[in-house]
Amino acid sequence: MDLVQISNQKKPTGAGKHYWRSVNELDGTAKLEGWLDQEFPAGPVNDSSRRQVLKLMGASFGLAGLVACRRPEEKIMPLSKGVEDLVPGKPLLYNSVFVHAGAAAGVRVTTHDGRPTKIEGNPDHPYSEGKATGLAQGALLNLYDPDRSKQVSEKGNESSWEKFGAFAKTHFDGVGNGDGLRFLSQRVVSPTLTSVREQALKKWPGAKWVEWEPVNNDNALAGAQLAFGNVVEAHYHLDQADVIVALDSDFLNLDSPTVLPARQFTRKRKVTEPGDAIARLYAVESQFSATGATADHRLRLRAGAIAAFTADLAALVGVGESKTLSGEKERKFLAALAKDLKANEGRSVVVAGPRQPAEVHALAHAINQTLGNCGKTVTFTQALAEPMLDGLKALAADLSGGKVSTLVMLGGNPAHDAPADLDLAGGIGKAQTSIHLAHNANETSALATWHLPEAHYLESWGDARALDGTVSIQQPMILPLYGGRSALEVVAQLAGLPSAKGHDLVRGFWQGQWPAADRERVWRKALHDGVVANTKFAEAKVTAKAPAAGAKAPGTGYDVAFHPSSSLWDGRYANNAWMQETPEPMSKLVWDNAAMVSPATLKALGATQGDVISITVGGKSIEAPVMVQPGHADQAISISLGYGRKNAGRVGDGVGVNAYPIRTTAGLHIAEAQVAKTAKTHKLVTTQEHFRMEDRPIIREATTAQYKEDPKFAEKMSEMPPIDSIYGYHSYEQGYQWGMAIDLNACTGCNACLVACQAENNVPTVGKAQVSRGREMHWIRLDRYYTGTGDEAQSVSQPMTCQQCETAPCESVCPVAATTHSPEGLNDMAYNRCIGTRYCANNCPYKVRRFNFLNWHKEDEEVQSLVHNPNVTVRMRGIMEKCTYCVQRIQEKKIQAKVEGRREIKDGEIVTACQQTCPADAIVFGNIKDPGSRVAKLRHQERNYELLAELNTKPRTTYLAKLRNPNPELA
């Protein structure tokens, strides 16, 4: 029995379908709304990203049933054993694949009654290992974006897929050999789409297919081309390296794919006892990145000066002739670094970031080869694709030359995010017919003749090749909410292939690849595992030739560096409230981007934080608020892309500054700019306003040497007065005693846990205005502190969530006993008992309690409630909430154990949402009374300490002190 039957049984009638085609038509809703408005009328205090709780609760009851009929009708393979024992309300897990800017990562999707509610990493996928980045998890919310484009439109007028089909038939028969036909897609890593593309191009030999991603790895590919003569993909094995040099590379957070490097790196940083050696990381960068924050040595250098630095480094390790372009300050650093690298030949690696020019990449390869790292800490395979910028340039030329009659744009937002000097927006208008497929009717759709709604990846069939070649099948979890179609399906339709159904295309393609005998088995296994066996590329043997002397001394103006936003990437998540409210890991900035500068530069500009400055590159200029970033390179500005959208939707419109207008083909990543202060100011809002530790022992840190000397340094850092209770203590000996240990030495502050918690626990978003009042709701936050001076600052980050104190100060003060202690040591919150005195929050020394000051769900549309986890209450206004150690997950496993007739829950069986997704495995949860449990072992490490132990709160969450491994010569 398969899902077809299931869904048929459950399908309530057409009503469900009708409901889904247009959300507002369900007449019941109108009544509900009316009633709600009496109950909670809107007031001026509301702002755009609030959600409407009662509406949502009402809706989700109804929807649970309704969405059942949304299950895909093709056969897909649930991970759980067979669908026969499907229990309504019991989640099903499916493996699929999430493609992000050309990098595929396997995901495991949790669906409740056919609603995808949570994204986790697929443990079997090499680029996930069970973990997912904040972006990968947050992308889920786009599925339920109420602003998604809901129908086909022609020249802005309503149309339909049928009408489009008819048009396409006649039109594309008429394009002859396709001289005037151009395809513009995002990076294609789908083997099926690749084959469909080939068929299309065979049909129209004159046609051209161009790919564009505003944030891409062209430089890396070009660098490989320079170094090895052919385009290869470099794969770094950081877990093999003792010395790592990151040249403007934020491999721990920004430079996708980040999960794998983060895992490899942190594996090398974990220690169990003082003796253990840990890798040493050098970071040379302009903006302060998460990687720089983790580094043992960080050199702040203008993005434009890093090429020179690399040349010097290369010379010092014996590549090319020495030019010593770098300044005095860098020399000492260079010498020590070179020495350290030479001392670790074969066990070191130099990684260049995607924003650095090809020359730097080439030099890095050369250095690695000279140090004998190639084949050890860095290996190579064939690349998935060629650099894409030239293609786009050609397209732009053809467009302006009027050579293009039909332009098919598959996804993306080229009119908005293509290099400004190409003026693609203008070009698109020149094409007689332009077709644009997109999730949202965005800036580009406005210019296109036809706009087609695109299916979300959770709605459509597909496949994707990871950077190492591993193929995963993309399974849909839910039928397209708004009848969207995937790029694959559209191209197939245009090319007039026999079937334009994603399932048939993907299945058909792969069946063709496998021996007829066990096709079915391989297919089912591929779906089940989320990876297709033996599809990895073979290692490529390459040798780097001495690089051409390209590096030159940096210019004298300001460097402006463009990097993707850690929240909105290139802008594609602009309408995603989760991501908008996810703080930028270093500055904690939300709902905005800003021109990041060093304190010195701020002074030089005569500006103060929030002043608006104008940044001019080659005549074009933008105005952006300036924000001070300790540790940022002087005479340099970093600004993240993806903000300042005009057509994103109710959440993303007009948030932040659009940096694309000054991003040209010449300076795609780094450009020289003129900067001037304007009279305007702009209010920047952060989730953390104070970044000094005030000499308090909050995040405890030592060097490996100090650690060896005094293993118990962490405990000794807080002065413990003799404390006791007049009552004596409650004993927590019976049964499970839950606890958590967080290894600050592993945490990179990447926010993955924050988004995981948001999705798992239905944490609402509140919007900029409310965050500015300090009302953000995140149950887990990452506290960022700067140490050292403003310029040469170091930075540490600490995940902060409810500490589940055994003598919880919050409990004692609640007049109505709404927060009490469970026998298993959990600090429980009884939402329906809470009356909201906020006394508990006042008395919480860790300030982890979150209060629903207003009804955050007021403006929800029904579709937005589909994302909620049915196992977690959605909290109404006026009550307190906080981390529960994911009590719903604990209970689920306890019930499961009971059902299976087991006595004990195995260690590691229960994983909290934050722990589950942490790429660094920094968070460990378990039974602290079980000496064999991982958490107990960690708590027994000497580095273990309780935060604010002097208050006698007896927290169940403890921290393991951070370690740095500085180079003695630089100390």
Partner 1 sequence: MADLAIKPPLAELNPPLVEGNHSYSTVTHTVSGIVERKTPKQWFIAISISGAITLMMLGMIGYLFLNGVGVWGNNSPVGWAWDITNFVFWIGIGHAGTLISAILFLFRQKWRTSINRAAEAMTLFAVACALLFPLIHVGRPWRAYWMFPIPNTDLNMWQNFRSPLLWDVFAVSTYGTVSALFWYVGLLPDLATLRDRARTRIRQLVYGVLSLGWRGSARAWRHYEMAYLILAGLSTPLVLSVHTIVSFDFAVSIIPGWHTTIFPPYFVAGAIFSGFAMVVTLMVIFRYAFQLEDLVTIKHLENMNIVMLATGSIVGYAYATELFIAWYSGNMYEKFAFLNRTTGPYWWAYWTMVSCNVISPQFFWFKKLRRNIPFMFVISIFVNIGMWFERFVIIVTSLHRDFLPSSWGYFRPTFVDVCTFIGTLGFFTTLFLLFVRFLPMIAISEVKGVMPAPGASERGQH
Partner 2 sequence: METAQITPFAAIAEFDTPGALVQAAEKVRKAGYSKTDALTPFPVHGIDEALGIPRSHLGYIVLCIGMMGTAAALLLQWWTGAVDYPLVIGGKPLFAFEFSIPVTFELTVLFSSFAAVFGMLALNGLPRFYHPLDNARMTRRVSDDRFVLVIDKSDPKFHPVETIGFLRSLNPISTELVED
Smallest CA-to-CA distance from 839 within 864, 860, 812 is with 812
Q: What x/- string results for residues 667 through 696 when contact with partner 1 is judged by CB under 8 A?
A: ---------------------xxxxxxxxx
Q: Which is nearer to partner 1, 356 or 794 (CB)?
A: 794
Distance CA 153, CA 314 (A): 56
d(CA 143, CA 867): 9
Burial of 56 (0-12, 13-18, 19+ CB in 10 A): buried
Residue 600 · residue 702 · CB < 8 Å: no
- Among 145, 285, 296, 811, which residue interacts with partner 2 (rule: CB under 8 A)? 811
The two tokens of residue 139 are 């992308």
Identify residues 45-64 at the interface with partner 1 (CB under 8 A). Answer: 45
Instruction: Answer yes or no whether residue 522 interacts with partner 1 by CB under 8 A.
Output: no
CB 381 within 8 A of CB 540: yes
CA distance 762 to 760: 6
Whichever of 745 and 953 has its CB closer to partner 2, that residue is 953
Among 399, 641, 668, 879, which residue sits at the site for partner 1 (rule: CB under 8 A)? 879
Q: Which is nearer to partner 2, 374 or 814 (CB)?
A: 814
Question: Which has the closest alpha carbon to 594: 660, 653, 638?
Answer: 638
Min CB(268)–partner 1 separation in Å = 28
Distances (CA, A) of 641 to 566, 761, 789: 9, 29, 29
Measured from the Cβ of residue 790, the count of other Cβ atoms closer than 10 Å reads 15
Q: Which does 807 bind (CB under 5 to 8 A by kind): partner 2, partner 1, none?
A: partner 2
588 half-sphere exposure, CB direction, 13 A CA radius = 22
Q: Is the dihedral of CA 66, 67, 70, 75 positive or negative?
A: negative
- Nearer Cβ to partner 2, position 517 or 817? 817
* CB closer to partner 2, 844 vs 863: 844
In this structure, the number of other CB atoms found within 10 A of the CB of residue 934 comes to 16
**Best CA proximity match to 346, nearest among 319, 387, 377, 300:** 377
The least CB distance from residue 586 to partner 1, in Å, is 14
849 is a site residue for partner 1 (CB under 8 A)? yes
- Beta-carbon contacts of 374 under 8 Å, excluding residues fewer than 6 positions away, are 365, 368, 380, 542, 544
Sign of the alpha-carbon dihedral angle for 561, 566, 568, 570: positive
Residues 733-792 binding partner 1 (CB under 8 A) are 770, 773-775, 781, 783-785
State which residue, 570 or 715, has the beta carbon closest to partner 1: 715
x/- letters, 804..843, toward partner 1 (CB under 8 A): -----x-xxxxxxx------------x-xxxxxxxx-xxx
Backbone φ/ψ region at 660: left (φ over 0), alpha (ψ -120 to 50), beta:
alpha
From the list partner 2, partner 1, none, partner contacted by residue 717 (C-beta under 5 to 8 A by kind): none
499 binds partner 2 (CB under 8 A): no
Using CB under 8 A as the binding rule, whether residue 800 contacts partner 1 is answered as yes
Task: State yes or no: residue 679 binds partner 2 (CB under 8 A).
Answer: no
- Pairwise CA distance, residues 470 & 537, whole Å: 7
Minimal distance, residue 816 CB to partner 1, in Å: 5
Stretch that binds partner 1, among 5-13, 312-320, 708-716, 847-855 (CB under 8 A): 847-855
Listed in sequence order, the residues at least 6 apart from 111 whose beta carbon sits closer than 8 Å to its beta carbon are 91, 92, 93, 94, 117, 477, 478
Rounded distance between C-alpha atoms, residue 10 and residue 925, angstroms:
38
C-alpha angle 571-258-237 in degrees, rounded to nearest 5: 150
Locate the DSSP E strands across 704-852. 738-743, 781-787, 794-800, 819-821, 827-829, 850-851
Residue 725 touches which member of partner 2, partner 1, none, C-beta under 5-8 Å by kind: partner 2
The interface with partner 2 within residues 942-961 (CB under 8 A) comprises: 954
Q: Give which of partner 1, partner 2, none residue 204 binds (C-beta under 5 to 8 Å, depending on kind).
A: none
The owner of tokens 């959605």 is 874
Single residue of 808, 883, 911, 961 touching partner 2 by CB under 8 A: 808
Gap between the Cα atoms of 913 and 915, Å rounded? 5
808 contact choice in partner 1, partner 2, none (CB below 5 to 8 Å, kind-dependent): partner 2
Residue 837 touches partner 2, criterion: CB under 8 A:
no
Does 812 engage in binding with partner 2 (CB under 8 A)? Answer: yes
773 makes contact, choosing from partner 1, partner 2, none, with CB < 5 to 8 Å by partner type, with partner 1
C-beta of 13 vs 727, nearer to partner 1: 727
The nearest distance, CB 872 to partner 2, in angstroms, is 22
Q: Is 474 in the site for partner 1 (CB under 8 A)?
A: no
Single residue of 169, 205, 729, 842 touching partner 2 by CB under 8 A = 729
In this chain, which stretch among 149-157, 375-383, 817-825, 878-886 interacts with partner 2, using CB under 8 A? 817-825
Q: Which residue has 């050309």 as its token pair?
A: 102
Which member of 328, 516, 727, 734 binds partner 2 (CB under 8 A)?
727
Among 517, 538, 723, 817, binds partner 2 (CB under 8 A): 817
- The answer to whether residue 163 forms part of the interface with partner 1 (CB under 8 A) is no
Distance (Å) of CA 386 to CA 232, 422, 563, 793: 9, 20, 21, 39
The nearest distance, CB 826 to partner 1, in angstroms, is 17
Q: Does 824 bind partner 2 (CB under 8 A)?
A: no
The Cα–Cα gap between 233 and 379 comes to 8
**Should residue 806 be labelled a site residue for partner 2 when binding is judged by CB under 8 A?**
yes
What residues pair up with 640 in beta bridges, in sequence order?
A: 563
User: Cβ–Cβ contacts within 10 Å for residue 878, how many?
Assistant: 14
Residue 364 sits in the site that holds partner 1 (CB under 8 A): no
Nearest distance in Å: CB 726, partner 2:
6
Q: CB under 5 to 8 A by kind: which of partner 2, partner 1, none does 159 bind?
A: none
Which among 562, 610, 792, 597 is positioned nearest to 675, based on CA atoms?
597
Cβ proximity to partner 2, 159 vs 822, nearer residue = 822
610 touches 592 (CB < 8 A):
no
Number of residues interacting with partner 1: please give it, by CB under 8 A.
60
Contact 837, 814 (CB under 8 A): yes
Our finding on whether 415 is near partner 1 (CB under 8 A) is no
Q: Does 821 bind partner 2 (CB under 8 A)?
A: yes
- Which of 532, 493, 484 is closest to 199 using CA atoms? 493
The binder of 41, among partner 1, partner 2, none, by C-beta within 5 to 8 A per type, is partner 1
Is position 726 an interface residue for partner 2 (rule: CB under 8 A)?
yes
By rule CB under 8 A, what count of residues binds partner 2? 20
Nearer to partner 2, 849 or 943 (CB): 849
Q: Does residue 10 sit in helix, strand or coil?
A: helix
Beta strands in 818-931 (DSSP E): 819-821, 827-829, 850-851, 880-881, 923-927
Does 725 engage in binding with partner 2 (CB under 8 A)? yes
Is 119 an interacting residue with respect to partner 2 (CB under 8 A)? no
Distance of closest approach, residue 740 Cβ to partner 2, in angstroms: 18
| Binders of partner 1 in range 943-962 (CB under 8 A) | 948, 951
β-strands 181-185, 406-410 pairing? parallel
Task: Please give the distance of CA 223 from its chain centroid, rounded to a whole number.
Answer: 26
Residue with tokens 């020590």: 336
Give the interface with partner 1 as residue ranges (CB under 8 A): 40-41, 43, 45, 688-696, 698, 770, 773-775, 781, 783-785, 798, 800, 809, 811-817, 830, 832-839, 841-843, 845-847, 849-855, 877-880, 948, 951
Give the interface with partner 2 as residue ranges (CB under 8 A): 725-730, 806-812, 814, 817, 820-823, 954
